[in-house]
Amino acid sequence: METSGTVVITLEGLESLIGLLKRRGYRVIGPTVRDQAIIYDEIAALAELPRGWTDEQQGGLYRLVPRDDDAVFGYAVGPHSWKKFLHPPTELLWTAERTEKGLRVTPAPLPDERFAFIGVRGCDLHAIAIQDRVLTHGGKIDPHYRARREALFIVAVNCAVAGATCFCVSMQTGPKATGAYDLALTELGREEDHRFVVEAGSEAGRVVLAELPHRAATEKDIAEAEAVVSATAANMGRSMRSDDLHELLLRNLNHPRWDEVAARCLTCGNCTMVCPTCFCTTVEDATDLAGHRISRSQRWDSCFTMDFSFIHGGSVRASPRSRYRQWMTHKLATWQDQFGTMGCVGCGRCITWCPVGIDITEEVAAIRDSEQH
């Protein structure tokens, strides 16, 4: 049976979707409750999704709390982003072995696992698109990232909840899922009328959707779905004017606000670790005790570490002030010069998971306000 247009599936249809993707050879990754947070991990059934749970977030605060209904996707975003799977924290690049004929270098094989992501929000869709631009275009292509990305199946979710640190509307990245996805869900109703309005965004999505139990969406279904997205957009926890950030920040590189935020910043790098777009890495070599084998691995790095900008003679950015300024101005300004887009998608993770609650939207507002007084 062919499927076109917008359709509706039930909870049983969502369960069927997970099973179908597994049978097609995908490693299905979705939200699940673990360690008092909603994280992304491998799932095998509907029961593993965070049904009936939501999260409360503020600067430096995250708390998982029960909802008063059985919503499956009734939360914002947690500490994980999807880059954990596409651009993992540690990646083997090559190994070398000393033999009688000399040194033999063996590149690490390209990954052959196929991921299916379930529950990708609009902000994270844009984050994946940003990493695509950085890691698969231009002269420096990451073949490991590209291999995983080309095999990826994405089930997006239109947000029904805006976290207190979310500002995707300001960045034009949500709450409606836009961009490259295979299927997009909007969760409606609860209890007896629990259902999902589904749109296909690719031919692969249409093929999968045709195999699921579904019915055509009515005008009422579509109107309800649009109302969910509109309500979420009207209830953002944060906002940040974004049309002038490049000029605003670059003309304020010596602003006293950088000293004020540096007095609080621990330079722990949490913001870069939870950010769905940060891509900086370093390499590490390891040898066995006999010196016969060596391996080189790539791992995530952060511009908040002293070693990140270390050159002969010392670190280029020795102070917390300079490291925070580098992160924020790169994310919001010079990223545009490099890649034609901003590096922020308004997910709010850097605010929530900062131990001292430093808020990127507040820092921008403080600099902007100072120019008006």
At residue 85, what is the residue type?
F
Q: How confident is the model at residue 214 (pLDDT cuts 50, 70, 90)?
A: very high
Of 233, 261, 281, the residue that ends a domain is 233
Residue 258, domain member (yes or no): yes
State yes or no: pLDDT of 3 exceeds 70. no
Per the structure, the complete domain to which residue 15 belongs is given by 6-233
Of 233, 267, 297, the residue that ends a domain is 233
Residue 27, domain member (yes or no): yes
Same-domain check for residues 168 and 195: yes
Residue 239, domain member (yes or no): no
Same-domain check for residues 165 and 299: no
Same-domain check for residues 205 and 327: no
The 3-state secondary structure of 203-253 reads: HHHHHHHHCCCCEECCHHHHHHHHHHHHHHHCCCCCCCCCCCHHHHHHCCC
Same-domain check for residues 228 and 250: no
- Give the HSE-up count for residue 127: Cα atoms under 13 Å, Cβ half-sphere: 28
Same-domain check for residues 215 and 284: no
The tens digit of pLDDT for each residue in 323-339 reads: 999 999 999 999 999 88
Range 208-217 average pLDDT: 95
Residue 240, domain member (yes or no): no
Question: To the nearest whole number, what is the mean pLDDT of the chain?
Answer: 93
State yes or no: pLDDT of 259 exceeds 70. yes
What is the bridge-based pairing of β-strands 37-42 and 195-200?
A: unpaired
Domains in the chain, number: 2
Range 344-359 average pLDDT: 96
The tens digit of pLDDT for each residue in 280-324 reads: 999 999 999 888 899 999 999 998 887 887 777 777 777 889 999
State yes or no: pLDDT of 2 exceeds 70. no
Same-domain check for residues 315 and 186: no
Range 329-351 average pLDDT: 94
Same-domain check for residues 284 and 152: no
What burial letters (b/e) apply to 1-19, b meaning 16+ CB within 10 Å? eebeebbbbbeebbbbbbe
Helices (H) and strands (E) in the chain, counts: 14, 16
So what's the pLDDT on residue 91? 96
- Please name which of 157, 159, 158, 155 lies closest in space to residue 202, comparing C-alpha atoms: 155
CA–CA gap between residue 49 and residue 67 (Å, rounded): 14
Tokens of 276: 């769905």
Same-domain check for residues 106 and 192: yes
Range 172-176 average pLDDT: 95
State yes or no: pLDDT of 108 exceeds 60. yes
Residues near 222 by Cβ (< 8 Å), separated by ≥ 6?
6, 197
Same-domain check for residues 192 and 257: no
Sheet holding 281-287, edge to edge: 102-107, 90-99, 293-300, 281-287
Same-domain check for residues 145 and 256: no
State yes or no: pLDDT of 105 exceeds 80. yes
Q: How much of the chain exceeds pLDDT 70, in percent?
A: 98
Same-domain check for residues 260 and 227: no
Dihedral sign (CA 19, 22, 28, 33): positive
So what's the pLDDT on residue 4? 53
Q: How much of the chain exceeds pLDDT 90, in percent?
A: 86
Q: How confident is the model at residue 138 (pLDDT cuts 50, 70, 90)?
A: confident
Same-domain check for residues 330 and 182: no
Q: Is 264 left (phi over 0), alpha (psi -120 to 50) or beta?
A: alpha
State yes or no: pLDDT of 139 exceeds 80. no
Q: What is the pTM of this model?
A: 0.92
